[in-house]
Structures are given as structure tokens and as C-alpha cells.
Structure 1
């Protein structure tokens, strides 16, 4: 029992679902289901049926997620061994340099004609080149500074 508790404590800090952690989770959920069943028999309350269904759904979801993680881990390890086998089959003669392949496109890309600029209608004012970079507040700010400096000269 002490060995199981030590393994459980260590499995908490190990990434992924460990067999010890899954065993502890399954025993805990089974105990919860037994307690909910005993409470249902003792009280005849429908609430314990609902709690049992929620607990069962969570129990199933945890086991499903752990199985998916293990399957992904196995797939990743299989892919890693496959890549290692390919690299050993190619031999040490091949250099590990990247090669760029240039693909030419024989069809020139043409833009869509669906959106075109609308024709200018009505009286529009064009901005002059000297005021194009100033914001609307720039002129008013300069005027305010001039007023402040005039007031200081009066003192």
C-alpha cells in the first residue's frame, strides 16, 4: 500500500496519464458510484440518480481522454521510429542540407474585375499637399500655444 501511495504521488508530477493515476481514478469513481447507490436506496431521491449519471459521464470522459492521449503518444513514437529508420536507410553519405525547389507558374495571375473604383461624382475637395500630413487638431493646438505665449508676454 505504501508503494502504491508513493507511485501515486510521483505520477502526479509525471506528464500524461500513468497507470497508477488511472487506477486511483477508477477506484475513486467506483467508490463514488457505490456511495450514490447506497444513498439512492436509503432516501429514494431522484437527485442521486442525476448525480450518478453526471459522475458516470465524467468517469467515462476521463478514461476516454486518457486512451486518446495514449493512442496519440503511441502514434508519435511510431512516427519517430519510422523517421529514424528512413534516416538510417539513406546512409551517412547524404548531407543534411535543405534543398529549395523552384516551381514556376505558367498561368499569370489576373486580378478580379468585380471590384473597380467608382467614378467620381459630385463636388469633392482635394487636400493640398502641404496639409496632407497635418491632423485637424494640429492647427488648433498651435493656436492654443500662441495664445498661451501671448498671455505670458503680457505679464
Structure 2
């Protein structure tokens, strides 16, 4: 009994319908049906008949859902098994049939330019080559956006790294 309760507790945290959880569900619904039948016999109230029908419908729906879920999991496992089998067959065929070598990519800037076909809707004046814009690590001047009167054509002479140093210094002063 203790192992069943331990298995039931573990099955709560396991996705999908586990056998232990299904047994507990079926035993619980069977006990509920027995109690409803006894109450129906004791009181002859139609309410217990309605509750018994609702209980039976819910019991059947839960079992149907569990069967469908198991079938879906079985189909997924079969698909995975087929995909794995086809992959292993393709690997054994490709490894026996051909040997290819991988060439090292040149590191010059000329390798960055590639011929790219222009789209049909693109204007004729566009270039069909991709060129690098700027090398990394260079400082760029940017427009000052802090106040509208300063951003009229003026450039900032402070780099982003200097701004981060100022922030770091201000945080260090706050910590002291």
C-alpha cells in the first residue's frame, strides 16, 4: 500500500496518464458510484440518479482521454523511431559513398564581398555587391539628443566608453 501511495505521489509530477494514476482514478470513481447507488436506494431521490449519470459520464470521458493521449504518445514515438532509422540509414549511405573536404574560408576583406543577385523589383541603380560598412572598434560621432536646441547639427565628441566610465565612477562613489 505504501508503494502504491508513493507511486501515486510520483505520478502526479509525471506528465501524461501513468498506470498508477489511472488505477487511483478508476477506484475513486467506482467508490463514488457505489456511494451514489447506496444513497439512491436509501432515499429514492432523483438527484442521486442524476449525479450517478454525471459521474459515469465524467469517468468515461477521463478514461477515453487517457486512451487517446496514450495513442498520441505511441504515434509520436513511432515517428521519432522512423526518423531516427531514416537518419541512420542516410548517414551510413552518405559516409560510404562520398568523401568531401571542407575548405577554409579566406580572412581577407575581399571575401566579405559576395555577388548577390538584385531583386526583380529593385531599381537599376542599386549595387549587386554586399560591402562591409565599417570596421568594429572605431569611434563614431553622433548627434546630441538630450535637448532639442543642441541637436540641430551639433555632434557629440564623447564616446560611449567614456559615458560608461562616468556611470561606473558615479556608482563607485555611491557605494563608498
TM-score range, shorter chain: 0.5 to 0.7
Query: Which structure exhibits the higher relative contact order, with contacts defined as CA atoms closer than 8 Å and separated by 6 or more residues?
Result: 1
The Cα of 1:91 is off from its aligned counterpart by 2.1
Aligned mates of 1:40, 1:91 — CA distance in 2: 67
**2:106 matched residue in structure 1:** none
Larger fraction in helix: 1
- Alpha-carbon distance, 1:88 to partner: 1.0
Between the aligned partners of 2:21 and 2:89, the Cα distance in structure 1 is: 40
CA distance in 1 between partners of 2:89 and 2:77 (Å): 18
> CA separation in 1, counterparts of 2:72 and 2:91?
29
**Structure-1 separation of matches of 2:13 and 2:79:** 26
- 1:87 alignment partner in structure 2: 87
Match of 2:25 in 1: 25
* 4+ aligned runs moved over 4 Å, structure 1: none
Per the alignment, in what secondary structure is the counterpart of residue 89 of structure 2? Answer: helix
Q: Deviations over 1:23-48 (max 9, x none)?
A: 00000000000000000000000110
- Does residue 1:76 correspond to 2:70, yes or no? no
Gaps in structure 2 of 5+ consecutive residues:
96-176
Output the aligned Cα RMSD: 1.4
Report Cα offsets for 1:89-130 as digits up to 9, x if no partner: 112527xxxxxxxxxxxxxxxxxxxxxxxxxxxxxxxxxxxx
Calculate the TM-score normalised by the size of structure 1: 0.59
The equivalent residue for 1:36 is 36
Structure 1 unpaired stretches of 5+: 95-155
TM normalised by structure 2 equals 0.52
Q: Secondary structure at the match of 1:91?
A: helix
Aligned residues: 95
1:1-155 paired onto structure 2 within 5 Å: 1-92=1-92, 93=94
